[in-house]
Chains A and B, each alone.
Chain A
Amino acid sequence: MIIVTGASKGLGKSICDNLIKSGKKVIGLARDTSNLNFKSYDCDVSDFDRLKAISKELKKDNIKVEGLINAAGIAAMNLALTTPQSTTKRIIETNLLGTIYTTQAFLPLLIRNKKGSIINFSTIAVNLSLKGESIYVASKAGVEGFTKSFAREAADFNVTVNCIAPGPINTNLIKGISEKQLEKIIKQQIFTKMHTHNDVCDLVDLLLDEKSRRITGEILNVGGA
């Protein structure tokens, strides 16, 4: 089984659909899973107790977990000075703490499986230090640091930990960016174009595959930065 957070929309939903299409079994986690027609749980990734309860239920049902994809994420494109405290808190709680909590809750299941792959999500905005995204960037830079350091801990258990940092993709996260701004970001990449959900899904496939068993602690930019 592969656990995917942020499974109800955006990139998380595309990843779930792609995995299911290729014959994989998926467990989706999202705040509202009413639109999902596969095994799923309503869950806010910043709620550690809920994550632990789901993990316990999966263990009780002897579910073998071979992958964890931390795709849940939110953004607010705004200057740091004009971002409300509640928004700042929510971004850090979902993007950074959510990734850490989910990993802590489900790692024992991956260890029991004797091998596994954890895939976190960052953004090209970290490498490019984009203006007007500092809080979002701070949360994702934290995810990148967690990925690199935690990979060393997880290696003891034959679990790889990597982070995908895509350039602009058509999701809700870029809705707040003007066309002019978007064009500027695109031009700073190596591949100067928008990317597709498939570009990311293909990388997810690779990182879940046995062929990538020695790739760990890496931040992989889709688009190049």
Chain B
Amino acid sequence: MKLEELNIEIISFIEDKLEEEGIEDIEVTSESRLIGDGGVIDSLGIVELCLFLEDKASDMNFEFDWTSDSAMSNSRSIFASISTLSKNFLEQSSK
């Protein structure tokens, strides 16, 4: 799977979540922040996104770990943006 494809899937997932909540004025791109100031989704959305990626990883025969120390570290969080999350997911898939 390519980085761009995964970015699009995640963006689509987040857009669906925002639509469910009636939020339409947020533009979601691969550089959108996921956590902290300017994050496009709330903590509930982050967890749902992680469960979505867990299922995707399961289909790809690997385990996606989103609870490691680095996952939530402020300076190098995998949730810094959609593209950092995608990159980390693909890195874990190739291990």
| Residue positions of A touching B, CB distance < 8 A | 52, 56, 59-60, 104, 108, 111-112, 153, 156-157
Contacts and interface: CB of A to CB of B under 8 A. Distances in A.
Given A60-B58, A108-B47, A153-B43, 7 more contacts: A59-B54, A59-B58, A108-B50, A108-B54, A111-B48, A156-B44, A157-B44
Nearest to A55: B67
A112 B63 contact: no
Contacts of A108: 47, 50-51, 54
Contacts of A52: 67
Contacts, number: 19
Contacts of A112: 51
Interface residues of B, number: 10
Contacts of A111: 47-48, 51
B14 to A, nearest CB: 17
Interface string B67-94: 1000000000000000000000000000
B5 to A, nearest CB: 25
Given A111-B51, A112-B51, A104 B67 contact: yes
Instruction: List the 4 closest A-B pairs by CB distance, nearest first.
Output: A156-B44, A56-B63, A112-B51, A111-B47
B51 to A, nearest CB: 6
Contacts of B67: 52, 104
Nearest to A107: B47
Contact of B47 (A56, A59, A60, A157): A157
Interface string B15-43: 00000000000000000000000000001
A56 B47 CA distance: 16
